[in-house]
Amino acid sequence: MKIEFCEKNLDRFSKSAYKALKGEYEDVKVKKDSCLKECRLCRTEPFARVKGEIVRAETPKKLVKKLEKRIAKKK
């Protein structure tokens, strides 16, 4: 499984979510991408892309919880 974060969104909202997940799961690649081409969303809330699908949340903590649920489903 690969989880991608937009660098600009990391700077604005989701850096703590990225740090919480990076290196935490052996079978999950957590990557930074320079742009995920979701500019409107990027300016308003934390998000990441998993298997081509956008996962968004109101806070970085909620984003981590949503992403961890997806990781758990995969196992």
What contacts 4, CB < 8 A, 6 or more positions away?
31, 32, 33, 36, 48, 49, 50
Percent of the chain with pLDDT over 70: 99
pTM (two decimals): 0.93
Q: Which residue has the tokens 């956008």?
A: 54
What's the rounded Cα separation, in Å, for the pair 5 and 26? 18
* Domain residue ranges of the chain, discontinuous segments joined by +: 2-74
Q: How many CA atoms lie within 13 A of 43 on its CB side?
A: 3
Percent of the chain with pLDDT over 90: 95
Instruction: Give tens-digit pLDDT for 5-28.
Output: 999 999 999 999 999 999 999 999
